[in-house]
Amino acid sequence: MMASIELRQVKKAYGGAEVIKGIDLSIPEGDFCVFVGPSGCGKSTLLRMISGLEDISGGEIAIGGEVVNRIPAADRGLAMVFQSYALYPHMTVRQNLSFGLENINTPRAEITRKVGEVARMLQIDALLDRRPKDLSGGQRQRVAIGRAVVREPRVFLFDEPLSNLDAELRVDMRGEIAALHRRLGNTMIYVTHDQVEAMTMADKIAVLRLGKLEQFGAPLDLYNRPANLFVAGFIGSPKMNFITGRVDQGDRTLLHLDTGETLRLPERGFAQRAGEKVTLGIRPNHMTVGEGAIAVQVRSVEQLGGESYVYGQTSAGAPITVHSPGQTRIGIGETIHVGAPEGEIHLFDSDTGLSLRDD
């Protein structure tokens, strides 16, 4: 059982404040889609609107081709995993898992079979008679997922499910949720503010900011071809470096940086106009040291053994991060010259923030 999800100009307003400003999105069935964005971008609200727990102020939501605007949450065939797990504290794990099945009048034997199956799959069969307060964070998370899985929904919704776990457990659970998706093949929507989670789990990522969809696409598309400054800065860790400058009045391929240096841009690939104010973006791992034009004053160096990060500043004050594989000899206080291969630079219109890529 699978279903595609279609959002058409979906809006949400609380009083006069519009928090979701018209989102169009189409999630094919069986996809693992991640909504990512900084806190307050409306990603959780959007998820709750899809679930039916929050009503929508405008537009249409269709699940499996059927518009569900007027259908209550219970009848949309979805299951949701909440950030706080939201397990029923007074029920045992077994009762937590079977509550949903009881509500749709599943026969007792069937409930026992399904609960047993799901418990084995999630390795919580030893915990069935415990109460949520006697479980660890990771175990509660599994129970919460189990409660969603046991009802065999068309679509799974995850609302920041891993944010209450410690770092190590988070990596494990990430892998398990991805494995769950491969095994069940259901459509899943996953909300997170962590771009690493988004990159590692998603088939498609929707980057949201201030209630607007900034970009929707496959993780590597977003990484390689960010549509605007926000996505460029949000996706990828450490952040992309930005240096502002102005295109030469005569020669379109000459870029005068605010630091005073001049760079030559590739002939093709960008649609910059002469005299336009632009922002140059280079990922830390694409920075090359020693062969570039941009002078960077080193402020600190992180040696991780297998790789190193150099943090510095251009003469105009823009922060620069350089990633270099292996160990580095660069010391604090030195001035280094950095650059980037032609194919690895990004160019954005400084005023609109949009990418100037023209292919």
Question: Which residues of this protein are in contact with another protein, per CB under 8 A?
Answer: 48, 51, 53, 72-75, 78-80, 82-84, 86-90, 99-100, 103-104, 147, 151
Q: Kindly tell me which of 91 and 271 has the beta carbon lying closer to another protein.
A: 91
Count how many residues are written for the chain: 359
Tokens of 158: 């995850």
Separation between Cα atoms, residue 166 and residue 112, nearest integer Å: 32
CB 312 within 8 A of CB 322: yes
Q: What are phi and psi of 271, to 5 degrees?
A: -105, 40
The DSSP element (H or E) to which 229 belongs, if any, is: helix 229-234
Q: How far is the CB of 73 from another protein (least distance, A)?
A: 5
Q: Kindly tell me which of 102 and 129 has the beta carbon lying closer to another protein.
A: 102
Q: How far is the CB of 98 from another protein (least distance, A)?
A: 10
Q: How far is the CB of 25 from another protein (least distance, A)?
A: 21
Strands 78-81 and 66-67: unpaired
Q: Kindly tell me which of 75 and 267 has the beta carbon lying closer to another protein.
A: 75
Q: How far is the CB of 167 from another protein (least distance, A)?
A: 24
Q: Kindly tell me which of 106 and 297 has the beta carbon lying closer to another protein.
A: 106
Q: Kindly tell me which of 26 and 57 has the beta carbon lying closer to another protein.
A: 57
Q: Kindly tell me which of 54 and 125 has the beta carbon lying closer to another protein.
A: 54
CB 219 within 8 A of CB 202: yes
Q: How far is the CB of 273 from another protein (least distance, A)?
A: 51
Q: Kindly tell me which of 84 and 352 has the beta carbon lying closer to another protein.
A: 84
Starting at the edge strand found earlier in the chain, the sheet holding 155-159 runs 78-81, 155-159, 187-192, 32-36, 204-209, 212-217
Q: How far is the CB of 150 from another protein (least distance, A)?
A: 10
Tokens of 256: 């005068």
Q: How far is the CB of 147 from another protein (least distance, A)?
A: 7
> What one-character-per-residue DSSP string does 3-63 give?
--EEEEEEEEEETTEEEEEEEEEEE-TT-EEEEE-STTSSHHHHHHHHHTSS--SEEEEEE
